[in-house]
Structure formats: structure tokens, C-alpha cells
Structure 1
Amino acid sequence: MEPTRTLMLGLLGCLLLVPRLRGECWGQEAAACAWGWVPFEEGCYGFFPRELSWRRAEAFCQRFGAGTHLASVHGAEEHQAIAAMLASSRPGQGSQDGDGDGDSGVWIGLHRPLRSHRWQWSDGSEVDYGSWHQQPGPRRRVCAALQDTADFLTWNSDACAHRKPFVCKASA
């Protein structure tokens, strides 16, 4: 059923994000993205409802090729486009995949490594935008997730070992 959901996500993404796309959904911009991924500016975004730890989700994204990581977010427009894509797929309505931790949200590529006071994107890009609801103290290794309770428009930090659905971003 996952291929069908991916197709539906791609089609919904085309309908919801057309005003923000630089080209037509079925035109040259869309051709640069893999089937079922949603184009936006210079990247392609894929939502995966499978719940994984942050580290495993990052490894899953990297399997799609060089330049593919958990999504980095560099501005309000990009953030809103990702939130619209996620809202159309309703990831917060699914099961918790049996691990029982009850966490909500969707992993993105932002994390703070152990013994570091600085946040980093998994793709190595500059941290130049944020939409925090809550950040933790400096002693823990934590990762960032888009909060489904806030329509994916705010970020929350959580233990990287928790399992969540995730968004990958590929360079177009």
C-alpha cells in the first residue's frame, strides 16, 4: 500500500503546492524528482510514514543517492510547503508502529550531536532558519521534529532514539 500512498502524496503535492512551484507540476521541474516526490524550488521532498529513529531515518534517506538526507529547512516558504505536504498525508493519524513511546511529529534533518552546543543539518548546510516551540538544555544529544499538533509549523526537540515518520530532501 505504500506505493499507492506515495503516488497520492505526489499528486496531492502537485495540487497543493502548484502556486509555490517554480514550474508546472508536470513540467520540467517535476521531471527532476523521483516518482512520488514533491518538487519545491531546488529540491524534491518525500514523506515516509514508516517510523524510525532519527539515525535510521537519515540512513534511509541516504539510500536514495548522493545529496539526499533528512530534510533541511531554510526559510518560511520552504517550511510552509513541507507542512502542506505533511498535512495532506495526515501522518499524525497513524499507529505508533508498536514501540509504544507515543511520540508525535515528523523528523527533519536538524540535530545537535553529543557534547555540542550547536545545531547542525544532516546535509551540512547552514542553520539559517528556525521555528522552535521548545529546545532542550545543552547536555543531551537531541534531534528536531516538526510538531503535528501545530500543523507542522513549529519544531520541537526530542530524543533521537524515538521513532517517528520523516521527510527526506533530495537535490534536484
Structure 2
Amino acid sequence: VMLSPMMAPTFSGLIFTCLLLTGLSQGQQDAADAPSARSSCPQGFALHGSYCYGLLGIIINETWNSAELQCQAYPSGHLLSLLNEAEAKFVASMIKEYPDVKCPIWIGLHDPNKNRRWKWSSNSLYLYQAWEQNFPSATTRNYCVSLSFESGELEREKYSYFFHLSSIISLHVLPEPLNTFDHLLTRIWE
């Protein structure tokens, strides 16, 4: 997954769609290292490692800031933070499975103070970087990042009010606890 410059959409009725992502704290573990406790995803969502992904809906004329606010309507929700290569590849491949979503997609990487200090809207550590060659540009002022549907690459966007067709939401959810009482009963009767 790489970052590259962004082109403006050419029509006015723009759509906002979300993918829901639930899972690991701060993304410091790969899917193979995921905790063994049970996790459940909402109906219609796909589990990948300790994350749930799913298409949520459509909103017209969504900006980066309003997309982030929409994501925050969910408990612990934020625009997606891509924290490792495995996650970035899975998200890119999943997006390509939606033939109607052929548009740039907001993610949570942004430069809130416009000082070239990138951060995730979820406050996750900004360790995974996959900028395309010659980006970010020292001469271009871009403050928000989107994922390109066509290339699966990440792109920088100059203005936070730029309209996009889609967004990805991430939601940190703790795994469901195992019922230890059932475990004890099973051991007693064995």
C-alpha cells in the first residue's frame, strides 16, 4: 500500500461509505499474534485477525472532518488507522470486493496542525509508513489521507473539506470474555 497525490472527483453527488474495523489495541500485533479470547463481529462483517470489517452505509457529501465525527458516533470509533502492512493489504483487497465503491476513501491519517507531523485520528502510534515515491511532497500542503480504490494505494489530500465518495471507520472493541464458570463446571465433571 503506497501513498500518492489525489485527483478531485468530477461530480457533485458524492457518497460516503464506511467499513467497520474492530480489534487490537494500537495495532501492535499481527493477525497471527491475535489474542485467543472470542471476538464477535456484527452481522454482515468479516473477521480478519482481531478485527471486524464491513460496509456500513451511504452518506452524501462527506468531508474528512465530518467523516471522523460520523465514526466517533460509534463507541471508540475513528477513521481507520492502518498500523501494519498485513492490515493495509487486507483492507485494500476487501475494498476491491465492493464493485460499487470505486472512489478514494478517507482514512484516519492527517496533519491536524498543518506542520507535517502526521498522526492517526485514533491516536495510534504512527509507525507504519508506506508513502509512494516523492510523497509526501515538501512543496505541496496536504493535510488528510485517503485510500485509492483503483490502485489500493494511500493518497494525500490537500483540504479537509474535499469531498470523497467513501470512508473507512475503525472501532476498537475488547474481545468477549470467556465464561469461566462454564470452564470450571466442565473440569469438575470430567
Fold shared per TM-score above 0.5? yes
TM-fit CA distance, 1:40:
2.7
The one-letter code sitting in structure 1 at the alignment partner of 2:143 is V
Q: Determine which of 1, 26, 42 is the counterpart of 1:34.
A: 42
TM-fit CA distance, 1:132:
1.8
The aligned counterpart of 1:55 is 65
**Residue 94 of structure 2 corresponds to residue 85 of structure 1:** yes
TM-fit CA distance, 1:64:
1.1
Cα distance, 1:45–1:169 mapped onto 2, change above 3 Å: farther
Question: What's the TM-score, normalizing by structure 2?
Answer: 0.61
**Residue 109 of structure 2 corresponds to residue 105 of structure 1:** no
Cα distance, 1:148–1:122 mapped onto 2, change above 3 Å: same
Measure the CA separation in 1 of the matches of 2:139 and 2:127. Answer: 19
Question: What's the TM-score, normalizing by structure 1?
Answer: 0.67
Instruction: Give the secondary-structure state (helix, strand or coil) at the position aligned to 1:86.
Output: helix
Q: Which blocks of at least 5 consecutive residues in structure 1 are unaligned? A: 11-19, 23-27, 93-103
Q: CA RMSD in A?
A: 2.9
Q: Which blocks of at least 5 consecutive residues in structure 2 are unaligned? A: 1-16, 21-29, 33-37, 174-190
**Residue 157 of structure 2 corresponds to residue 148 of structure 1:** no
TM-fit CA distance, 1:114:
3.3
Aligned length: 137
Measure the CA separation in 2 of the matches of 1:39 and 1:161. Answer: 32
CA contact (8 A) 1:21 1:39 kept: no
Dislocated runs of 4+, deviation >4 Å? none
The one-letter code sitting in structure 2 at the alignment partner of 1:72 is S
Measure the CA separation in 2 of the matches of 1:136 and 1:37. Answer: 36
Cα distance, 1:146–1:115 mapped onto 2, change above 3 Å: closer
The aligned counterpart of 2:167 is 166
Measure the CA separation in 1 of the matches of 2:62 and 2:137. Answer: 21
TM-fit CA distance, 1:21:
6.3
State the structure with bigger RCO (CA 8 A, min sep 6), 1 or 2: 2
TM-fit CA distance, 1:162:
1.3
The one-letter code sitting in structure 1 at the alignment partner of 2:90 is A
Per-residue CA distance 1:84-105 (angstroms, 9 max, x = gap): 211111311xxxxxxxxxxx41
Per-residue CA distance 1:101-145 (angstroms, 9 max, x = gap): xxx411100001234220010000111112223324477351001
